[in-house]
């Protein structure tokens, strides 16, 4: 099945950005927001995916370090002898179960951390070496900004500019920005207008 992504919900933006980079490079990755089907029991789906996974990639931050769900996911993985790869996205005290694990530091250079993670996984390091805005056309960025502005107002242009620096692809950029829109109906409208 590949790898399981463990993260605190409050870290969704960075977690989905990293997940997008890994998936773009060909890593098979289970992400709850993408892989739990409507009407499926969340806890059962997470447990089944975790048990089937080769290992766990943990987005480590103060929020995930304090999350009981993340602690349960890491404990289940370690108890089953699975590999656990922590990616530090913000300075945090690692939970006890992870204190002896070497982590990948993404606090200063997320693109380099993505390349290191890919190397650790044995995947080809095809993560973007330069900002995604170089890979995403200026026309696409303008279209995304235009689609996002009705939902978030003038801040939309700054958000697009900021997230485009590290997004692995246009699809990842759209998903990251969609998370900023509170209502699912409005997120769907944004995706249609921007996509």
Q: Say whether 190 sits in a helix, a strand or coil.
A: helix
Residue 52 lies in a domain: yes
Number of domains in the chain: 2
Distance, first Cα to last Cα, the chain: 28
Lookup: tokens for 138: 């200026």
Q: Are residues 33 and 117 in the same domain?
A: yes
Residue 127 lies in a domain: no
Contact between 139 and 148 under an 8 Å Cβ cutoff? The reply is no
Q: Are residues 116 and 159 in the same domain?
A: no
Q: The whole model's pTM is what?
A: 0.66
Distance, in Å, from the CA atom of 190 to the CA atom of 144, rounded to the nearest integer, reads: 8
Q: Which long-range contacts (CB under 8 A, 24 or more apart) does 129-133 make?
A: 131/164, 131/165, 131/166, 132/164, 132/165, 132/166, 132/167, 132/168, 132/169, 132/172, 132/173, 133/161, 133/164, 133/165
Q: Are residues 41 and 113 in the same domain?
A: yes
**Residues spanned by the domain of 31:** 3-121
**Residue 35: closest CA among 52, 11, 14:** 52
Q: Are residues 109 and 138 in the same domain?
A: no
Each of the 195 residues of the chain gets a pLDDT tens digit; together they read 799 999 999 999 899 889 888 888 889 999 998 888 888 898 899 999 999 999 999 999 999 999 999 999 999 999 999 999 999 999 998 888 888 889 999 999 888 888 889 888 886 544 444 444 455 788 888 899 999 999 888 888 888 888 887 777 788 788 888 878 888 888 889 988 987
Residue 56 lies in a domain: yes
Q: Are residues 109 and 180 in the same domain?
A: no
Residue 126 lies in a domain: no
Q: Are residues 116 and 179 in the same domain?
A: no
Residue 154 lies in a domain: yes
53: domain CATH number is 3.40.50.10140
Report the residue count for the chain: 195
Which of 121, 140, 174 is the endpoint of a domain? 121
Q: Are residues 11 and 38 in the same domain?
A: yes
Q: Are residues 98 and 67 in the same domain?
A: yes
């Amino acid at each position: 099945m590949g790898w399981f992504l463990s993260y605190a919900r409050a870290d969704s933006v960075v977690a989905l950005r990293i997940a997008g980079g890994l998936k773009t490079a060909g890593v098979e990755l289970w992400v709850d927001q993408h892989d739990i089907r409507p009407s499926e029991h969340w806890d059962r789906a997470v447990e089944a995916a975790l048990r089937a996974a080769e290992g766990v990639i943990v987005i480590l931050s103060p929020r995930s370090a304090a999350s009981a769900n993340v602690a349960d996911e890491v404990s289940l993985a370690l108890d089953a002898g699975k590999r656990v790869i922590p990616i530090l996205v913000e300075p945090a005290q690692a939970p006890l179960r992870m204190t002896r694990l070497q982590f990948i530091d993404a606090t200063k250079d997320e693109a380099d951390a993505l390349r290191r993670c890919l190397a650790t996984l044995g995947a080809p390091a095809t993560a973007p070496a330069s900002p995604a805005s170089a890979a995403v056309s200026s026309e696409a960025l303008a279209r995304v900004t235009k689609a996002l502005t009705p939902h978030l107002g003038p801040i939309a242009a700054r958000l697009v500019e900021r997230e485009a620096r590290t997004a692995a692809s246009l699809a990842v950029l759209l998903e990251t920005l969609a998370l900023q829109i509170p209502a699912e109906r409005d997120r769907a409208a944004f995706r249609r207008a921007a996509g």
